[in-house]
C-alpha cells in the first residue's frame, strides 16, 4: 500500500529524440556522462537519490554544526544503537569513506578478503590496500531464472576452497554484503550470516557486514525465512547485524539521506584505529565527512528505514515494476531485489557477444527510446568475470510514481520490438583502474 504523498516537487523533461541521440554520442555512450537535465526517469542508482521525509528536513534545520561533541552525532549514536545494535560509530562522507577507514585498518598487502560479492567500491578499496578481493557467491546468484529465496548468500563451500588454497593466515577479513548488491541485490538469510560468523571464528578473521541495505534485507528475511515470519523488522535487523564485528554503512541507501555513511563496531580497539584513520581521511570523529545537519537527517532516516509502512511501500513498488517488465516480455532477473529491477541483456540480445557489451547496448537503447537512465553491471562494469550481462534499473527511494514506471515499461517494450537491429559497442578509451572503468570509460558503436 502506498505510504506517502508529495510535499515538494521537481520538474522533469523528456528531451526530443534527435537531442537524445546527440546526448548519447556526446556522452561517449556512457550514461554516467549525461547531464541529469537530459534524463527523464533516472534509474542510474538508488544511492543518495531518494526523497527525505518532512521529519528528516526538520532534523536538518536543527542540525548541530559544532566541530566536536555535536548533538547531532549523539542522535546518530542513539539511532545506530537502537536500530543496528552497535555502540561505537565513526561517521564518514559516504559508504566508500567507511570502507577506506575500516579496510585500511584491517588489511595489509597480500592479504585476501572474502565477500559474498564485492561491490565495486569495496573491491577497489580492498585492492587499494594491496589485498586480493575474492568473491564467494552461491551458484544460484548468477542464474537469472532461479527462484531460490536467498541467492545473495555467502558460499561457505567456496570460502573453504580459498582457505585450502591460500591458508587461513592469509585471510584476516570476511565480509558479507546484505543485500548482495553486485549479485542482483539478492537477499541474505540470517542463517547464512550465522554460518559466516562461525566460519570467521574458525579462521580467526574479522567479520564485517556491509549493511547498506540491511532494512530491505530484513524485510526479505521476514517474507522468506521460516524462523522470522512473525518477527519485527527491527529485531531481525539487530539480530543479523549483531553477528558482525563491525559494519560499513552507506547512508545513501538505507540511511535514507543524500550523503553520508559510517563504520560501527563494538570492538574498542578497532574503534580507536578507525577514529585515527577517520581524522586523517574524513574529519573529526563526531562529524566525519558530514555536515552536522546531514548527520541529524541520517539519524532520523535510519529509524524510518525499519518502519513496516516504508519497507512495504518500497519493496512492493520495486516488485510491481519488475512484474510489469516481465509481463511485457522482458527477461527479468528473479526474484526482484529490494532496490532495483535487473534485466538480462544477454537473453535480450542473443546476437551480441560479451565483448560487444550487450548490457551497455541496452542501457543506451533505453535512453535513446525514452530518456531512461539505467546502468550496466555485466562485462563492461566487471571485466574478466563470469557473470550474466545484467542491466540494473535502480529505484530511488520515495521518489517516482506508477506513471514513471509505466513510461519505463513502454520504453523497454519499444526496445524489445526492435531488438534484432541493436548493435554492440566497443571501448574508445581505457581508464587506469579496471575495477571502476565503467564510471568514466567512453565507448562507440561497433563498426560492423
Ligand X SMILES: *Cc1c(COP(=O)(O)O)cnc(C)c1O
Size of the site for ligand X (CB under 6 A): 15
Quote the cell numbers at residue 111.
592479504
* Residue 214 interacting with ligand X (CB under 6 A): no
Residue nearest to ligand X (CB): 95
User: Should residue 95 be labelled a site residue for ligand X when binding is judged by CB under 6 A?
Assistant: yes
Q: How far is CA 205 from CA 106, 212, 246, in A?
A: 10, 21, 12
Which of residues 103, 119, 150, 321 is near ligand X by CB under 6 A?
119
Distances (CA, A) of 317 to 309, 339, 371, 412: 12, 9, 21, 18
Interaction of residue 92 with ligand X, rule CB under 6 A: no
Residue closer to ligand X, measured from CB, 253 or 368: 253
Q: Is 52 in the site for ligand X (CB under 6 A)?
A: no
Residues 192/223, Cβ–Cβ less than 8 Å = no
Please, what is the minimum distance in Å from the beta carbon of residue 235 to ligand X?
23
181 lies in the site for ligand X, by CB under 6 A: yes
Q: Count the alpha carbons within 13 Å of 112 in the hemisphere toward its beta carbon.
A: 18
Indicate whether 117 belongs to the interface with ligand X (CB under 6 A).
no
In the complex with ligand X, which residue's Cβ is closer, 29 or 150? Answer: 150
Kindly give, in sequence order, each residue whose CB lies less than 8 Å from that of residue 268, ignoring residues fewer than 6 positions away.
Answer: 88
- CB 99, CB 121: distance < 8 Å: yes
- 94 belongs to the binding site for ligand X (CB under 6 A): yes
Report d(CA 189, CA 187) in Å as an integer. 7
Q: In the complex with ligand X, which residue's Cβ is closer, 94 or 153? A: 94
Query: Of 14-22, 30-38, 92-100, 137-145, which segment contacts ligand X by CB under 6 A?
Result: 92-100
Q: Counting contacts by CB under 6 A, is residue 424 touching ligand X? A: no
Nearer to ligand X among residue 300 and residue 348 (C-beta): 300
For ligand X, the binding residue among 47, 193, 217, 317 (CB under 6 A) is 47
313 burial class (0-12, 13-18, 19+ CB within 10 angstroms)? middle
Decide: is 118 part of the binding site for ligand X (CB under 6 A): no
**Residue 75 CA neighbour count, 13 Å, CB half:** 22
**From candidates 72, 121, 265, 317, binder to ligand X by CB under 6 A:** 121
The region of 119-127, 282-290, 363-371, 439-447 touching ligand X under the rule CB under 6 A is 119-127
What is the C-alpha to C-alpha distance for residues 353 and 88, in angstroms, rounded to an integer? 48
Q: Which of 114, 175, 212, 244 binds ligand X (CB under 6 A)?
A: 212
The residue among 177 and 265 lying less far from ligand X, judged by its C-beta, is 177
Query: Taking the chain, what is the end-to-end CA distance rounded to the nearest angstrom?
Result: 49
- Determine if 122 is a binding residue for ligand X (CB under 6 A): yes
Any contact of residue 261 with ligand X (CB under 6 A)?
yes
Q: Is 373 in the site for ligand X (CB under 6 A)?
A: no
Q: Considering beta carbons, is residue 217 or 334 the nearer one to ligand X?
A: 217
- Determine, following the binding rule CB under 6 A, whether residue 186 of this chain makes contact with ligand X: no
Q: Are 125 and 96 spatial neighbours (Cβ–Cβ below 8 Å)? A: yes
Burial of 267 (0-12, 13-18, 19+ CB in 10 A): middle
- DSSP-assigned beta bridge partners for residue 91: 262
Q: In this chain, which of 111, 210, 304, 365 binds ligand X, going by CB under 6 A?
A: 210
Choice from 23, 177, 337, 379 touching ligand X (CB under 6 A): 177
Q: Does 197 bind ligand X (CB under 6 A)?
A: no
Which stretch in 103-111, 117-125, 157-165, 284-292 sits in contact with ligand X by CB under 6 A?
117-125
Burial of 54 (0-12, 13-18, 19+ CB in 10 A): exposed
Task: Tell me how many helices (H) and strands (E) the chain has.
Answer: 15, 14
* Contact by Cβ (8 Å): 111, 170: yes
Comparison of 38 and 210: residue with beta carbon closer to ligand X: 210
Binding region for ligand X (CB under 6 A) out of 133-141, 247-255, 303-311, 357-365: 247-255
Distance CA 247, CA 243 (A): 10
Q: Which is nearer to ligand X, 250 or 379 (CB)?
A: 250
Under the criterion CB under 6 A, does residue 346 sit at the interface with ligand X? no
Q: Residue 346, SS3?
A: helix
Binding site for ligand X (CB under 6 A): 47, 94-96, 119, 121-122, 177, 181, 210, 212, 250, 252-253, 261
Amino acid at each position: 500500500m502506498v505510504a506517502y504523498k508529495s510535499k515538494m516537487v521537481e520538474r522533469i523533461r523528456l528531451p526530443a529524440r534527435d537531442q537524445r541521440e546527440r546526448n548519447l554520442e556526446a556522452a561517449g555512450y556512457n550514461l554516467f556522462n549525461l547531464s541529469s537535465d537530459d534524463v527523464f526517469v533516472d534509474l542510474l542508482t538508488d544511492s543518495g537519490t531518494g526523497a527525505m521525509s518532512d521529519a528528516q528536513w526538520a532534523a536538518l534545520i536543527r542540525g548541530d554544526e559544532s566541530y566536536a561533541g555535536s548533538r547531532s552525532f549523539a542522535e546518530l549514536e542513539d539511532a545506530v544503537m537502537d536500530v543496528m545494535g552497535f555502540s561505537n560509530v565513526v561517521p564518514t562522507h559516504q559508504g566508500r569513506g567507511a570502507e577506506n577507514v575500516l579496510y585500511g585498518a584491517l588489511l595489509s598487502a597480500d592479504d585476501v578478503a572474502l565477500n559474498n560479492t564485492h561491490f565495486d567500491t569495496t573491491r577497489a578499496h580492498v585492492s587499494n590496500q594491496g589485498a586480493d578481493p575474492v568473491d564467494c557467491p552461491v551458484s544460484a546468484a548468477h542464474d537469472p531464472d532461479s527462484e531460490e529465496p536467498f541467492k545473495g548468500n555467502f558460499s561457505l563451500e567456496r570460502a573453504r576452497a580459498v582457505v585450502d588454497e591460500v591458508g587461513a593466515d592469509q585471510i584476516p577479513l570476511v565480509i558479507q554484503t546484505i543485500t548482495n548488491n553486485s549479485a542482483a541485490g539478492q537477499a541474505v538469510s540470517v542463517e547464512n550470516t550465522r554460518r559466516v560468523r562461525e566460519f570467521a571464528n574458525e579462521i580467526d578473521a574479522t567479520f564485517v557486514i556491509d549493511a547498506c541495505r540491511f532494512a530491505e534485507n530484513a524485510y526479505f528475511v521476514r517474507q522468506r525465512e521460516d524462523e522470522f515470519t512473525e518477527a519485527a523488522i527491527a529485531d531481525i535487523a539487530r539480530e543479523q547485524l549483531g553477528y558482525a564485528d563491525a559494519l560499513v554503512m552507506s547512508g545513501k541507501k538505507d540511511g535514507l539521506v543524500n550523503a553520508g555513511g559510517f563504520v560501527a563496531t563494538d570492538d574498542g580497539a578497532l574503534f580507536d584505529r578507525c577514529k585515527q584513520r577517520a581524522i586523517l581521511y574524513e574529519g573529526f570523529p563526531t562529524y566525519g565527512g558530514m555536515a552536522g545537519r546531514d548527520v541529524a537527517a541520517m539519524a532520523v532516516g535510519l529509524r524510518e528505514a525499519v518502519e513496516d509502512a516504508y519497507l512495504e511501500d518500497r519493496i512492493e513498488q520495486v516488485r510491481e515494476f519488475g512484474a510489469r517488465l516481465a509481463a511485457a516480455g522482458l527477461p527479468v532477473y528473479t526474484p526482484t531485489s529490494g532496490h532495483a529491477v535487473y534485466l538480462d541483456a544477454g537473453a535480450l540480445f542473443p546476437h551480441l557477444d560479451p565483448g560487444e557489451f550487450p548490457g551497455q547496448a541496452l542501457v543506451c537503447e533505453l535512453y535513446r527510446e525514452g530518456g531512461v537512465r539505467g546502468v550496466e553491471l555485466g562485462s563492461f562494469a566487471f571485466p574478466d568475470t563470469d557473470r550474466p550481462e545484467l542491466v540494473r534499473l535502480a529505484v530511488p527511494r520515495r521518489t517516482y510514481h506508477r506513471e514513471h514506471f509505466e513510461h519505463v515499461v513502454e520504453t523497454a517494450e519499444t526496445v524489445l520490438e526492435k531488438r534484432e537491429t541493436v548493435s554492440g559497442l566497443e571501448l574508445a578509451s581505457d581508464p587506469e583502474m579496471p575495477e571502476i572503468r565503467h564510471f568514466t570509460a567512453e565507448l562507440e558503436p561497433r563498426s560492423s
